[in-house]
Amino acid sequence: MSKDEQKVLAASTAVDALIEEGLIFSGMKIGLGTGSTAMPAVRRLAQRISDGTLSDVKAVATSFQTTLACEELGIQVCTLNDRAVGGSLDLAIDGADEIDRENNLIKGGGAALLREKIIAYNSLHFAVVADSSKDVPSLGTGFALPVEIIAEARVPVMRELEKLGAECFLREGVKKAGPVVTDNGNLIVDCRWKSPVNPSEMEDAIDRITGVVECGFFTKNRPVVFIAQPDGTVVRR
């Protein structure tokens, strides 16, 4: 199977399995992620609403991309601040850029890491769907870690990240002159280390830097992960 086919398989398998187990249910509050693997999960959820399996599902989206997809597919969109949601979710389902053997994650390739983390860390349960290329032995040296920063603090933040051993690059836009600007009006610095790092310790260390809004290590709410394989099977971990 191609990577795109694996993404659809992982997403469909996860949504259907979580419905069977009662973690996705009518009347629930669900966080929906961003990116090329999360979108098939959004579409599968919409299918299960359309076929009558689910009803009255309240979704909180992690980005403008996901909000637009939900609106197009007929999924009710709320915010964490809405009275009907009350600041907490039953489940969040999302993709990841890398997943290590302990289900720590790097997320934020689509620059939506802040909203993704707010939703993931305010959810009772967390599920991640991925293709096999995202399953890695360790984090920090492969996919660059995104760090969302306040623009005015760019130089001092990058200096502090370098003290943590990271090689840092300001993310530049594609088909846009200048840096990437997040949905929150901030910038993204991508970081990579020469050797693997402890993601939990590094998440705390980076988040302590003044001027950092959030980083793309996700270690505080370990997810169940569904990883599709090239042979058409799905590994659940």
Q: Catalytic amino acids?
A: 116
- In whole angstroms, give the CA distance from residue 30 to residue 32: 6
Assigned token pair, 160: 């502090």
β-strand 145-149 against 167-170: which pairing, if any? unpaired
Nearest to 130 by CA among 93, 92, 89: 93
CA-CA distances (angstroms) from residue 11 to 16, 129, 133, 154, 187? 9, 6, 15, 36, 30
31 contacts 4 by C-beta, under 8 angstroms = no
CA atoms within 13 A on the CB side of 43: 13
Element (H, E) at 33: none
226 contacts 174 by C-beta, under 8 angstroms = no
CA-CA distances (angstroms) from residue 9 to 33, 64, 107, 118? 16, 24, 20, 26
Nearest to 191 by CA among 214, 219, 171: 171
Assigned token pair, 14: 């996860």
